[in-house]
Structure 1
């Protein structure tokens, strides 16, 4: 009996810590939901309390002011093109680097790795200048190309490690059977690195979807605003409409929440197994 008491006490303490941590993580969501349903005056003078009257018309106002449908479409296509481009270009490039041990390919690999060492803000000004010279400013496709270029180094670094871990005998047998390099990659190698591919898709999708600075510097046209840019309109130098700002946050995360609920098994598998080589 005495030996079980410390275990029970330890389990109770552990559960209490988990409850406190859960409450800490959920508190920002509570603030977001309650603030989005308040009037401007109530959101200012009673930020932590429950709304006295539900202001559901905040969402209607936000939808119209943000032009939410247009902003969502821009964010969706920008994220889709960027993520698919990073996966395709990085995967094919990594396959060529991993298969060949020549000095040129080794140097190319280290050039990609050096891209991880350079801080993004150091390359920001030259990149904006380059995009301006190439007339890619105010272009969602130009922004997608910039994201692809920025995301390739990390993706190549991961892909090369995973492809090199694939037994050479598998690829050599496929080549002996007459498999072309193109078919070798898509039929054999690509399915074997699907775990790291799903991980990269998740990480890059969250990065592109939530990015604010890069679209702010490259998209001045209102019709091309992404969701983070559209949300910025609720902040001013002298006044901030917190109830509308939080309503916009809630609308913005709903697509990601729905995607997670429908694809949570694939997302969890991709993140949990992405760090384990096939």
Structure 2
């Protein structure tokens, strides 16, 4: 059974944030995700979840200074203490919201480096990344939660440290934590690598969460170069029982573009 979660950072932006939970439920979603919860008290978010009757399935750790362009802390040398504080804060929210998984964004490599300096920076980021993820996975395990990492395409996010699926799998295997899983975003993978169904088949043992969006414009999943009905059918046949996060930007009003999801219980 395909379980769809609305990404409230992108969907239902016609509404104030706390009203998007009910809007998602009214449209047939049973789960929600979003980038960050930290602008709201956890008790208020828990109330919105309960009132709407939806599950919180995912959110991100604090990413550093998002408005200044930072995109995560997990691989940044010298920011380890800040990352550890971010882990504790995210897990505090996850406990309040009953959220079973959190995503640690890797962060950006420095800009303007020559090849040698860039290689050295990548080595330093890699070592920091592994150490930070070991800490975060250990803390998440104490409360029975999963930690996710996600390759993000370098067209939308230039310089992002983690951009390919094999790189993510190598990190997961190097960390060696059972609760460190892969957040597989088909939009990002199509841009970087393609061959989506074969990737999903190969990476199924590592999957902790899946996200979808149309490619290349990141609009509804029924627009663009990816045929999502075949992919969702294959995921179900493979036995994937997790959530499918709908992390796309509606081309117009959110409900106007939900026709693609009627086969999965959504209501335009």
TM-score range, shorter chain: under 0.3
Answer 1 or 2: higher relative contact order, Cα 8 Å, separation at least 6. Answer: 1
Task: Report which of the two structures shows the higher radius of gyration computed on alpha carbons.
Answer: 1
Report which of the two has the higher share of helix.
1
TM-score normalized with structure 1 length: 0.23
Report which of the two has the higher share of strand.
2
TM-score normalized with structure 2 length: 0.24
